[in-house]
Amino acid sequence: MTDLDQVLSAISEAAAAPFERAKIPPPAFYTSEALTRLEEERIFRAEWQCIGRTADIPEAGDYITYTHCGQPLFCIRDKKAAVRTFSNVCRHRMMELLQGSGNTRRIVCPYHGWIYDHAGRLTGAPHESYFADFDKKGICLPEIRTEVWQGFIFVTLNDEADSVAARARPLDDLLDRFRMADYVPIVTEDNVWDTNWKLLTENYMESYHLPFIHKGTVGGFFPVEDCVFPEDAPAHFTYSTFTKSEGAAYGRAHPDNTRLEGMWRYTNILPTIFPSHMFTLAPDYMWYLSLAPQGPGQVRIRYGASLAPEVVAGMSNREAETAAAAAFLDAVNNEDRHAVEGAYRGARAPLTTPGPIHPLERAIHHFIIYLAGRLNGGGRALQAAE
Ligand code: FES
Ligand SMILES: [Fe+2]
């Protein structure tokens, strides 16, 4: 049995165990290079990846960039308000076209100046008459499949993948009341942390750590007994809900919020859309992470935070108050970073063996069931990954 076979069999065993007896798989689950390659092939190339929010690109010509499984891409709002995604690689000599985010009337390659429109079509090239048989009309940037769900933009390299909206639809009953697509972005940034992507995903989906590692920020206002999970493991996502007690700085509805009633005014929902998109939706804010592994020991994180529209409207000093909210959420992120980077160093240590899963970590078991299904998908690709 190879090391990869061993870790796959441990993942299957953890997935098959009843939740009460399920254990976290051995440390190779987080440290194996071969498993990381298999994850790229069977998970990330096959699934949807969240790359941002439609609210990040509200106007025609607004764009964001991203790299998904080695494919640079840009996502742009076109003149008809459609959100479209294209390969961000010039059809001349392969230069990356756009960087970061911004607004542009046309996409001009920084290398030799080829020009593309919002539909990815080549519209011009310097001294194009010098080319023999230059058929401009036949040159277009490849388009990448894109969907929008609850204001999140998803892309996939897999033409066969089921619609992300259909996969996540059961969550809409919980989420629609918040009208999250109207939340106003205050931060979008990319970070790289020294940890395995699954440690961060698992951290985000469990609330067992809240009262402890976040005791200085969000943890003090978390009544453990109010935490709820779906009983069975959904195929494409999981979630938990919990409430925020009075006095919490964030996580309760603003008085001008007329959308939410009863317990929903102080209930927070934490969905994870498998494999690696997770968000906290609260009556007053939303933040999300979308993870892209860079080998077993590093993860690139697209992180965004937004505030409910009435929270922003009610601010007397918008700049200072949004900066304070962003700094608070940043502090929470740094507490998580401390935990998941420390856990990755722990996973690499020779004497390490992980233990049982606490009931407040139930969603981790859902995640392991999902991973086992995806990773044990057939023998041929398994050999290729070794
Ligand atoms: S590589 Fe883009 S114009 Fe030459
Ligand atoms: Fe956390």
* pLDDT single digits (tens) 113-135: 999 999 999 999 999 999 998 99
Strand order in the sheet with 184-193: 184-193, 299-307, 285-293, 277-281, 267-273, 237-243
Give the number of the ligand closest to the Cα of residue 329.
2
Q: What is the pLDDT of residue 386?
A: 34
* pLDDT single digits (tens) 69-126: 999 999 999 999 999 999 999 999 999 999 999 999 999 999 999 999 999 999 999 9
Record the pTM.
0.94
Q: What is the mean pLDDT of residues 368-378?
A: 87
Q: What is the mean pLDDT of residues 224-245?
A: 88
CB-ligand 1 contact for 111 (6 Å cutoff): yes
Query: Probe ligand 1: pick from 74, 88, 89, 92, max atoms within 8 Å of CB?
Result: 92
Q: How far is the CA of 35 from the centre of ligand 2 (A)?
A: 25
CB-ligand 1 contact for 358 (6 Å cutoff): no
Q: What is the mean pLDDT of residues 173-183?
A: 96
CB-ligand 1 contact for 110 (6 Å cutoff): no
Query: Probe ligand 1: pick from 99, 112, 127, max atoms within 8 Å of CB?
Result: 112
Query: Probe ligand 1: pick from 86, 88, 95, 99, max atoms within 8 Å of CB?
Result: 95
Q: How far is the CA of 96 from the centre of ligand 1 (A)?
A: 9
Q: How far is the CA of 89 from the centre of ligand 1 (A)?
A: 9
Q: How far is the CA of 242 from the centre of ligand 2 (A)?
A: 13
Nearest CA to ligand 1 atom 4: 112
* pLDDT single digits (tens) 22-55: 889 999 999 999 999 999 999 999 999 999 999 9
Residue 377 has pLDDT above 90, yes or no: no
CB-ligand 1 contact for 114 (6 Å cutoff): yes
Q: What is the pLDDT of residue 249?
A: 84
Residue 68 has pLDDT above 80, yes or no: yes
